[in-house]
Copies of this chain bind each other. A is one copy, B any other.
Amino acid sequence: MHLVVIGGTAAGASAASKAKRTNPEIDVSVFEKTGFVTYGSCGLPYYIGGIVRTKEMLSDFTPDALREKRDIATYVHHEVTTIDRANKTLEVCDLGRNECFSVPYDYLVVATGASPIMPDIPNVRADGVFSLRTVEDGVAIRRAVQEESTKRALIVGGGFIGLEMAEQLSCLGLEVTLIEALPKLLPSVDEEYSDAIRRVLEEHGVRLYTGTAVREILVDGGKVVGAKTNSGATLGTDLAVISVGVRPNSSLAKSAGLETGVKDAIVVDEYMRTSDDSIWAAGDCVQTFNLITKRPVYAPLGTTANKQGRIAGGNIAGDMSSFKGVLPSQITRVFDLYVASTGLTAEQAKEAGYDAEEAKVTKMDRASYYPGGEDNHIKLVFDRRSGRLVGAQAIGSESIAGRINLLAAAITAGMTVAELSELDLAYAPSVAPVYDPILVAASQGKKRIIPV
């Protein structure tokens, strides 16, 4: 049996590894378009910032290691250009030699990932304008940043990657401007938390324009020198990074007639099987579903990609399991402010039919008398009738990471805010207050439940 994995992404490598581990008899091949496999895009801002020293550190495995340690026939700089479902063959092109050939398959995992969305504006492909997705992108930006003439950077898009890039380029001493078309930064958190991110960026000298779109990249001699906004302003820059989101790499699957859904992502069932029984798909190229609402969503995340790949690979090898959906849970750090969210915002919850209510607290993450404590700002979203927790957001010290994960577990378990308020959580003055911020928020939420 021959399993071909299209894409050496986190999802693809996970699928290949899990299939091989589950059944070593299976022949597994991986074809990857770039020169790297098993790398995480999430680490790229820190490679550019120099915190991660070498590009090699970003990958769990080199192609050689995947081949030797896991017995997976791994080919980089190889692009799959056609899936012939009738004959169960692929057309694969060796990008180095410019040669194409045919490869038969019994099973296929499509793990082609996603590509940065490039806005349709003049000069968006000019020299000095970058997107950030592959290790190659990271190498190119790092090189550009290190040039002595690069003193200013313009970041287009205030999502996770945009914020992380703003932090890292600012730490490198660049004069950073961030521009976001929506009225606020980071769509996964509400305005008051988004405002806190704005403040921390401004405190660190980042210039911010929200509710402002780039209309045109300005060039001189083919190289970026600035951008013109929809308000008519001109922002000068030596380098621009476009980070306005990603779209699934689904054209190959679509051309083969596989069903696509939200944002043109490949439709899969909970076992990660596409509309063709021999073809499975996983990661940033597929449509998934929200764990709470069960509705289809597009949620390209590293954690999800890894899990889905593993499930697809395991299922093909006969070890059936299913994907349980995304909340999604997300976190990042912007300078010394941590920002995290899980589940639905109140708005999303209302839209999904919940009688959504919020409870919000600001509380120290240690005993009040113990020095060094920092504030945790926590917001819970719950249904006013059932009391069920359906979402949470948090900003503050690093300890919000553990708290948002606890809340993710509570949402998954179907806990109510009343149950949450009664949890027996660990306390020590040096680590946590006697009433954890979660318990305080949950107690407040409990008071707003409509008695039956």
Contacts and interface: CB of A to CB of B under 8 A. Distances in A.
Interface of A: 10, 40, 42-43, 46, 51-52, 57-58, 160, 291, 301-304, 306-307, 324-333, 338, 340, 342, 367, 369-371, 398-399, 401-406, 408-410, 412-415, 419-420, 422-432, 434-436, 438
Residue of A291, A402, A432 most packed against chain B (CB within 10 A): A402
A410 B425 CA distance: 11
A431 B369 contact: no
Given A10-B434, A324-B422, 15 more contacts: A42-B427, A43-B369, A46-B370, A46-B430, A303-B425, A329-B426, A330-B426, A333-B428, A340-B426, A401-B402, A402-B406, A405-B438, A406-B406, A409-B409, A413-B414
B40 A367 contact: yes
21 contacts: A42-B434, A43-B370, A46-B429, A51-B370, A58-B369, A304-B424, A326-B424, A328-B424, A329-B425, A330-B426, A332-B428, A333-B428, A333-B430, A401-B431, A402-B406, A405-B423, A408-B424, A409-B410, A409-B413, A409-B415, A412-B419
Contact of A301 (B370, B371, B406, B427): B427
A11 B292 CA distance: 38
Contact of A436 (B42, B57, B301, B405): B405
Nearest to A414: B413
A440 to B, nearest CB: 12
A295 to B, nearest CB: 15
A330 B431 CA distance: 11
Give the top 4 A-B pairs by smallest Cβ distance, nearest first: A402-B402, A413-B413, A331-B426, A57-B369
Given A43-B370, A303-B434, A405 B425 contact: yes
A404 B58 CA distance: 29
Contacts of A419: 412-413
Contact of A43 (B301, B367, B432): B367
A233 B344 CA distance: 63
A426 B408 contact: yes
A320 to B, nearest CB: 13
Contacts of A406: 402, 405-406, 409
Contacts of A422: 307, 324
A431 B291 CA distance: 23
Contacts of A333: 428, 430-431
A101 B307 CA distance: 69
Contacts of A410: 409, 413
Nearest to A410: B409
A424 B43 contact: no
B42 A432 contact: no
B427 A302 contact: yes
A341 B52 CA distance: 33
B426 A342 contact: yes
Residue of A415, A429, A431 most packed against chain B (CB within 10 A): A429
